[in-house]
Amino acid sequence: MTEQLDAGLVAQEIAEHPDALSKPYAGGELGRGRRRKEDAKLVTGQTNWTDNITLPGLLHMTVLRSPMAHARILSVDVSAALEMPGVIAAYSGADLADVMGASMPCAWPVTPDMVSPVHTPLATDEVRYVGDGVAVVIARDRYAAADALEAIAVEYDQLPAVVDMEEALKPGAPLVHSEKGTNQCFVFDFPGAGADYAETVKNAGDDAVVVRRRFRQQRLIPTPMEPRGVVVAPIAAADEFTMWSTTQIPHILRIMLALTTGIPEHKLRVVAPDVGGGFGAKLNVYAEEILCLVVARKLGRPIKWTESRSENYQATTHGRDQIQDIEIACTKDGTLLGLKVELLADMGAYLQLITPGVPVLGAFMFPAIYKMPSYHFTCTGVFTTKTPTDAYRGAGRPEATYAIERIMDELAAELGRDPMELRRQNWIKHEEFPYEMVAGLTYDSGNYEAATDKAEQMFDMAGLKAERDRRRASKDPVQIGIGISTFTEMCGLAPSRVLGSLSYGAGGWESASVRMLPTGKVEVVSGATPHGQGHHTSWSQIVADSLGVPFEDVELVAGDTRSSHKGMDTYGSRSLVVGGVAIHKATGKVIEKAKRIAAHLLEANEDDVEFGGGTFSVKGSPEAKLTIQEVALATFAAHNLPDGMEPTLDSDYVSDPENFSYPHGTHLCAVEIDTETGFTKILKYVCVDDIGKIINPVIVEGQIHGGLAQGIAQALYEEAVYDAEGNLTTGSLVDYLVPAAPDLPHFDTGRTETPATSNPLGVKGVGEAGTIASTPAVMNAVVDAVRQYGVNDIDMPATPERVWRAINGEGSARATAGTVAYGGTSTGSTGGAAADEALDDNRSAL
């Protein structure tokens, strides 16, 4: 086609460098199990973690943290620290009071009267949790900065710790923020979109069966393997700053830093370099980010702070921590009448970026996949003297899914029904979509029957049930339990209008730019910042497929507010459903522009030009063709463009989703419980997830596996424990049981494909599905194994000690009686010798 291109540079280039242009597109990019582009640097140790960054004259910051849960600060004396070798500066909260900003932001006032306490990056008057920052040291190296912390003298006047949420709400309880006069942060009341719950149950009269349980969502510590870190480089004379931070949200962070410190937004560049996992814990604006920034501004020197793991456990947000009082009602034939949810949610000592929003997000998920005429949700947020909570993988949805899936099993037990049959009776049938839920959402698509049928087949449900029943009958010391979770979730956060109606401080759109380079290569700029999800690979597949260019020719630009200037970042399983769709639409705009130029160059009517497989061709004249790379080169030269045409193919798109996406699936778990030790072993785990159309099945499966691991860890291993004085007793990886390889089973994964109808790619989010679904599947299996001993609930994590105590009639077991059942939750602190041994077994993996 070169003779049809303009003379000069264009034709000359192609003649001299035929390889300058790309190979033709081979097709089949969507749904293909591409191995990841990002792996090359990761498997060879060439990754750019924040802590790797070093700069001339770099100084190191360390933070002195409160050893007490609650105390008045009487004095902070940094003078001795300043005398230490290598120390450049040391500041108390009071020293930085006029530069560090009035308060760190909470972007989600869930009610108009929410109590929102001042939260300064360093405490100035009181410390309110173990780990609250009190002072900082700046020194020439990290050892000197750590040593000097010990020379800072702080006088405290101890105040009572506030550890228990229910105690905290009682009149006369000690207050976390005395100036607020209450420990209650908010009460969010949501009567659903259906009938009144109490009225509905009353009207059913004698036909109503009601089951109540109290479930506890223990406190969890997200534990991304990379702790947090910050580096700030100032250009002092220009009052300009570059920050590298281990953050999921460079774009949101930049705005919030500008608003908090008063440094103009355009003078701040925030970069998320390679980030080693986040899971919600890096979805925040943290004290150390502000402190590094204001200290760098004060000293005019680059500053670095690197978190230790012990600091991470105290100073990075925790997750979950709810008490859930759940009541479900149905008629005697098992048809659901409604659901009532009363939550207590632990905020911790302060409100971080979206602390109050996390439990409130759950409001929309409790009814899950079930049809019911009535629903009522209330949530009370409570302050305690503990590390603030915030998003942790799933954020609000795992809590809801756990409660509904657990109580469906309890209801089935009460009715003497098979738990899957009861679910089938009540779930939305595939032909009933789109379906308007009692919680107000409209589910666009789903097929719960297909996913369940497939999962049961992979699981060998009949065989496992037979074995379970045999062991029950023979009183085998090792019992089997079978657990189900037929979950759905809302993800792809989120339609901006919906976020607005929930009083969230921003929208939920995502931005993309597609840049065609002169040689036909493509840069795709995304506002969704990756931290392990494989965006480089998946986005390359989307671009390759729509532009018809080779996968290898696409490069992702992300995670830097200077080069990807606009974005809402990565959380809530939103990258593909919002960000990926934006990319897809931006490529559409590139093709539109290229088509006009191709028509002009081919001297054809635009309506006669077709595009496919990366090539523009003219209907009826097969030899009149131009590849998109040739058009890119011609556009760059700009010698022969249509009159008035801008010489660029580059295009932007900002996509605001019209609805959430609703992945669903059926997870089945079989556990073996040694009734003599209380030890639980997962025998078999099968999950069939329906996440719609798939871009890359390899990456999808990885996301499911990782999600399952975190959900199973909540069920069996992990718990952040505070003692009565408010000390975190699980303050390191020694005491907090992040599972290692021997602690997890092999997962059998399968999928069904019901495309989402709310976006053009038909995709749904996948990042959180495994975590959301797996916790109740495991716990339902644990309870199923021991229900024969009169147990109807066990607190998470189901440690050998707790299971042993439940079997032996202590602690958390209460028998179900009559039509109204109550669950118990208390657990003791010591177990039998056998239980201790099993507990040790469990820990030995670490």
Partner 1 sequence: MRVSMKVDGVTYEDEVEPRTLLTHHLRDGLGRVGTPIGCDTSNCGSCTVSIDGESVKSCSVLAVQAAGADITTIQGLAEGSEWHPVQKAFQQHHGLQCGYCTPGMIMASVDLLTRNPSPTEDEVRHGLEGNLCRCTGYQNIVKAVLSAASELRGEGPIAGSFRDADEPVPATSGASS
* Cα–Cα distance list, 612 to 419, 549, 585, 627 (Å): 50, 11, 16, 10
Which of ligand FES, partner 1, none sits in contact with 565, Cβ below 5 to 8 A by type?
Answer: none
Element (H, E) at 593: helix 581-601
- Partner from partner 1, ligand FES, none contacting 297, C-beta within 5 to 8 A by type: none
Question: Is 105 or 532 the residue whose CB approaches ligand FES more closely?
Answer: 532
> What is the phi/psi pair of residue 778, to 5°?
-70, -45
Nearer to partner 1, 324 or 526 (CB): 526
Q: Of the two residues 4 and 47, which places its CB atom closer to ligand FES in the complex?
A: 47
To ligand FES, the closest distance from the beta carbon of 35 in angstroms equals: 15
407 binds, among partner 1, ligand FES, none (CB under 5 to 8 A by kind): none
CB of 733 to ligand FES, least distance (A): 8
Q: What is the 3-state secondary structure (H, E, C) of 119-163?
A: CCCCCCCEECCCCCEEEEEEECCHHHHHHHHCCCEEEEEECCCCC
| Residue 702 binding result from ligand FES, partner 1, none, given CB thresholds of 5 to 8 Å by partner type | partner 1
CB of 148 to partner 1, least distance (A): 15
Which of partner 1, ligand FES, none sits in contact with 51, Cβ below 5 to 8 A by type?
partner 1
Total residues in contact with ligand FES, by rule CB under 6 A: 3
Interacting partner of 203 out of partner 1, ligand FES, none (Cβ under 5 to 8 A depending on kind): none
- Closest Cα to residue 374, out of 459, 437, 293, 425? 437
Indicate whether 348 belongs to the interface with ligand FES (CB under 6 A).
no
Cα torsion at 250, 253, 254, 256 (round to 10°)?
Answer: 170
Q: 746 is in the binding site of which of partner 1, ligand FES, none (Cβ under 5 to 8 A by kind)?
A: partner 1
How far apart CA 306 and CA 674 sit, in angstroms, is: 43
Task: State phi, psi for 788 to the nearest 5 degrees.
Answer: -60, -20
Output the CA–CA distances (angstroms, integers) from residue 486 to 216, 665, 689, in the order listed.
Answer: 20, 6, 10
How far apart (Å, rounded) are the C-alpha atoms in residues 337 and 209?
9
For 194, the 3-state DSSP assignment is coil
724 binds ligand FES (CB under 6 A): no
Q: Which is nearer to partner 1, 747 or 804 (CB)?
A: 747
Sheet holding 184-190, edge to edge: 184-190, 374-383, 336-348, 319-331, 208-220
Pairing of strands 510-516, 478-488: unpaired
**Is there a contact between 572 and 525 (Cβ–Cβ < 8 Å)?**
no
Which of ligand FES, partner 1, none lies near 180, with the C-beta cut-off 5 to 8 A by kind?
none
Question: CA-CA distance, 332 to 209, in Å (whole number)?
Answer: 6
Of 363 and 713, which CB lies nearer to partner 1 in the complex structure? 713
Which one of partner 1, ligand FES, none is in contact with 339 (Cβ closer than 5 to 8 A by kind)?
A: none
The smaller minimum CB distance to ligand FES, of residues 15 and 225, is found at 225
Find the shortest distance in angstroms from Cβ 235 to partner 1. 25
Residue with CB nearest ligand FES?
225
By CB under 6 A, is residue 702 in contact with ligand FES? no
Burial category of 21 from C-beta neighbours within 10 Å (exposed 0-12, middle 13-18, buried 19 and up): middle
Residue linked to tokens 């998003």: 391
Backbone angles phi and psi of 142, in degrees to 5:
-70, -30
Strands 747-752 and 679-690: parallel
CB of 599: closest distance to ligand FES in angstroms?
A: 48
* Residue among 192 and 559 whose Cβ is closer to partner 1: 559
Smaller CB separation from partner 1, 281 or 602: 281
Residues near 519 by beta carbon (within 8 Å), at least 6 away in sequence: 20, 21, 22, 629, 632, 633
Nearer to ligand FES, 118 or 734 (CB): 734
Q: How far is the CB of 224 from partner 1 (least distance, A)?
A: 6
- Min dist CB 43 to ligand FES, Å, is 11
Between 225 and 237, whose beta carbon lies closer to ligand FES?
225
CB of 400 to ligand FES, least distance (A): 27
- Cβ at position 534, least distance to ligand FES in Å: 11
Name which of ligand FES, partner 1, none residue 645 binds, using a CB cut-off of 5 to 8 Å depending on partner kind. none
Q: Which two tokens stand for residue 63?
A: 């933070």
Between 74 and 225, whose beta carbon lies closer to ligand FES? 225
Place of tokens 């038909």: 762
Instruction: Give yes or no for residue 739 binding ligand FES (CB under 6 A).
Output: no
In whole angstroms, the minimum distance from the beta carbon of 558 to ligand FES comes to 18
Nearer to ligand FES, 225 or 833 (CB): 225
* Residue 282 Cβ vs ligand FES, minimum distance, rounded to whole Å: 13
Q: How far is the CB of 626 from ligand FES (least distance, A)?
A: 43
Residue of 86, 160, 174, 277 interacting with ligand FES (CB under 6 A): 277
What is the per-residue burial (b if ≥16 Cβ within 10 Å, else e) of 659-698? Answer: bbbbbbbbbbbbbbbbbebbbbebbbbbbbbbbbbbbbee
Task: With CA atoms as reference, report the closest residue to 383 among 217, 534, 578, 163.
Answer: 163
Work out what residue 35 binds among partner 1, ligand FES, none; the CB cut-off runs from 5 to 8 Å by kind: partner 1
Asked if 502 and 580 touch (Cβ cutoff 8 Å), the reply is: no
Q: What does 473 bind: partner 1, ligand FES, none (CB cut-off 5 to 8 Å by kind)? A: none
Distance separating alpha carbons of residues 584 and 589, to the nearest angstrom: 9
| 203-232 footprint of ligand FES as x/- string (CB under 6 A) | ----------------------x-------
Residue 709 touches which of ligand FES, partner 1, none (CB < 5 to 8 A by kind)? Answer: partner 1
Which is nearest to 771 in space by CA: 319, 359, 386, 325? 319
Q: Please choose, from the candidates 579, 57, 80, 586, the residue with its C-alpha nearest in 3D space to the C-alpha of residue 299.
A: 57
Identity of the amino acid at 112: P
Rule CB under 6 A: choose which of 93, 532, 692, 811 binds ligand FES: 532
* Tokens (6 digits) for 799: 């440690």
Burial zone of 406 (CB within 10 Å; 0-12 exposed, 13-18 middle, 19+ buried): buried
Query: Closest distance between partner 1 and the C-beta of residue 456, in Å?
Result: 13
Of 2 and 47, the one with the shorter C-beta distance to ligand FES is 47
Q: Nearest approach, Cβ of 743 to partner 1 (angstroms)?
A: 8
Q: In the complex, which residues of this chain contact ligand FES (CB under 6 A)? A: 225, 277, 532
